[in-house]
Structure 1
């Protein structure tokens, strides 16, 4: 526990940095929506309209079927961040992933709000926000740990710090943290697969009526 508190204290600036980078991505993603042409906005509106009608009439895939695809997608993010953290050249990739995650969320919410106003915001609150309230901090924690380990690799392998600098213990902490976050991801995926679709079906009829 003491080691965990010390690690969190040491990596606090990294947590702040990746959080700001993610928020910049969210803002950028929302701004992209406003830059779409009229044709692109119409195509987006048609796609969303068809999606909501399908959900309202046919529902979504069963939770047991969608769980593994959701869990696999989320675990890929964790795994990719972990792999990038192991290499000296992986640092930019970690930053790009955090930025892209923010862009994806910002664009999704921006599209819903631009097309459906407060109804879209309500749908975003039940479909995007709940699981991401936990998923995003998990990804940011993994990113901060990956950046810290990558910087350690740079100092020891590139800048030529003494070879006696131990790398085994930081690697073990880094890997165990990533594994713990992966287990948490499995729990978050359960919520996204079983609870989120129910909330989506509750809001979807409102959006269908707005589209009509």
Structure 2
């Protein structure tokens, strides 16, 4: 993988796509752009972990590039920071298991009045899952943002014994989604703050 002059500082949502059998590596790519300058989500893909292909930018800040012309997304117009991915029942074609990306969008009060902490969480999903084998076309659903006024670095969501999905952010915030269907629709709620690891960059919790 060519980091283009140390242009990669974090991997984001590395994940195996069970629909097409492809491994995806997303990363924070520092690419100057008129719309906020990023970073944004760069993208590599592989079928064997050895040979990788660089693909177009997967997720832009401030834009949903799955439309033409691209649509403005004011809630993440400053940058896209480190997020995670989950494979979820119902997220793929015809209800199959598929990928959902959860990412921190950096916002500004100028363009998003509810931007108190400067960060929120949003979701992105493949726009043409069945026919897009390399998942080069991602869309930001209309229900975004999913969590307002939070912090960056959401963990990979995990499901507990009750079937509730949970994730944690950099500042110790915990959030829940009641079911697979709720996660897929971006219906998250605040579960409060954890007692340990009050601040932790890119936390991983199982």
Shorter chain as denominator, the TM-score bin is under 0.3
Please identify which structure carries the higher strand content: 2
Output the TM-score relative to the length of structure 1: 0.24
Return the structure number with greater relative CO, CA threshold 8 A, min gap 6: 1
Larger radius of gyration: 1
Please identify which structure carries the higher helix content: 1
Output the TM-score relative to the length of structure 2: 0.25
